[in-house]
Amino acid sequence: MADHCFACHGPDQNKREGGKGQANGLRLDIATGAKADLGGYAAVVPGQPEHSALIARIMADDDSIMPPNNFHKALSVEQKQLLKQWISQGAVYDQHWAFIPPKYSTPPEILPKHHTSVSNWIDPYIISKLESSGLSPSPEANRHTLIRRLSFDIIGLPPSTPELSMFLTDNASTAYEKVVDRLLKSSHFGERMATYWLDLVRYADTNGYHADLTWNVWPYRDYVIKAFNDNMPFDQFTLEQLAGDLIPNATLSQQVAAEDQSSKEQLESELKHHQGISKFRMPDLKLIRQELKEWLQGIESKKIALHSLIKQITVYTNATLEVTYNAGYLTNQTRALDYTPYGS
């Protein structure tokens, strides 16, 4: 539905269509919208696909078909079937997983012969899956292999010769844990973690086409690396990238994190040129920044909890990422103009 319906029946009030009985159009991304009374009928009637307008519309063989033909994103037979089945099963709208509090679950029982392979509380889950596929855990790898794997996993680099010999000769029962701790403290840990985030925000040291010129946006890269190394909380990390420049007495690094995104027009024109961004799924960055600004200034009447703001962002998509991604994309452009440390 996100791909095929939300463009016209999603969170963006200005783009919303249909919904005769509803002032603001038909909204399908939330349960109350989908189940709302449209004047004697509803888009979704839980358990009753045959009485759900949604099903009638996706199955229609005339111009009333949804999505409309001129949207050029017809549903497949399987997708139609899936929607039908979902409504038959009660049309449950789950909250975004990020807002469902984690619950303790009891680790599964495993065969006694595998008990010796358990060294932490994650292992029983893995072993139980292996067992159900008729597999057994592999024996523990030799120490050379272990430290190489650990090192690549945590810092993205192989161990040095002295590090290797230290591990090989360490007879303490916590030898492995000591290596993990050392690697987590390494400044390369932040570099390793930052690669994922930098990919998401489309970071690059060069612009990638034409003459592949450098852009000198490394202060942002270093900011992300440092954020990971300093273990910066995720809400702070998000805040700084969306509105670091608006924080009263913003530090240089907070300004680097956000750069100047104050121009909505710029944002929109940039987005137009950037394929792959579904604009209707974009939260209103200007509005978010305005709210953040008031929140940051501690304006009492406007004080909104930061987490409810992040929630607003997240429910639209998976989307702290998407917003920060868009912000980062732009930020890279503006940063390129600002940092020319080598002189030009």
Q: What residue ranges bind ligand HEC (CB under 6 A)?
A: 1, 4-5, 7-9, 17-20, 26, 28, 38, 43, 53-54, 57-58, 64, 66-68, 71, 75
27 versus 221: smaller Cβ distance to ligand HEC: 27
Whether the CA torsion 237, 259, 277, 17 is positive or negative: it is positive
CA distances, 303 to each of 5, 233, 293 (Å): 34, 21, 10
Provide, rounded to whole angstroms, the least separation between the CB of residue 281 and ligand HEC.
13
Helix (H) or strand (E) holding 120: none
Provide, rounded to whole angstroms, the least separation between the CB of residue 84 and ligand HEC.
11
17 versus 140: smaller Cβ distance to ligand HEC: 17
CA distances, 308 to each of 22, 86, 235, 321 (Å): 26, 29, 11, 16
Provide, rounded to whole angstroms, the least separation between the CB of residue 70 and ligand HEC.
7
71 versus 125: smaller Cβ distance to ligand HEC: 71
39 versus 101: smaller Cβ distance to ligand HEC: 39
Provide, rounded to whole angstroms, the least separation between the CB of residue 290 and ligand HEC.
29
19 versus 159: smaller Cβ distance to ligand HEC: 19
Own/partner pairs for 166-171, CB < 8 Å, 24+ apart?
A: 167/143, 168/143, 168/144
For 230-319, where are the alpha helices, taking DSSP H only?
234-243, 252-258, 264-272, 285-296, 306-316
Structure token pair of residue 283: 């939260």
**Are the beta carbons of 193 and 202 closer than 8 angstroms?**
no
What is the C-alpha to C-alpha distance for residues 230 and 254, in angstroms, rounded to an integer? 14
Q: Half-sphere exposure (CA, 13 Å, Cβ side) for 191?
A: 10
42 versus 309: smaller Cβ distance to ligand HEC: 42
228 versus 316: smaller Cβ distance to ligand HEC: 316
Provide, rounded to whole angstroms, the least separation between the CB of residue 3 and ligand HEC.
9
28 versus 267: smaller Cβ distance to ligand HEC: 28
Provide, rounded to whole angstroms, the least separation between the CB of residue 292 and ligand HEC.
31
For residue 182, count other CB atoms closer than 10 A to its CB.
18
Provide, rounded to whole angstroms, the least separation between the CB of residue 34 and ligand HEC.
9
Provide, rounded to whole angstroms, the least separation between the CB of residue 270 and ligand HEC.
24
For residue 285, count other CB atoms closer than 10 A to its CB.
21
Name 18's Cβ contacts closer than 8 Å, sequence gap at least 6.
Answer: 8, 9, 25, 26
Burial zone of 306 (CB within 10 Å; 0-12 exposed, 13-18 middle, 19+ buried): middle
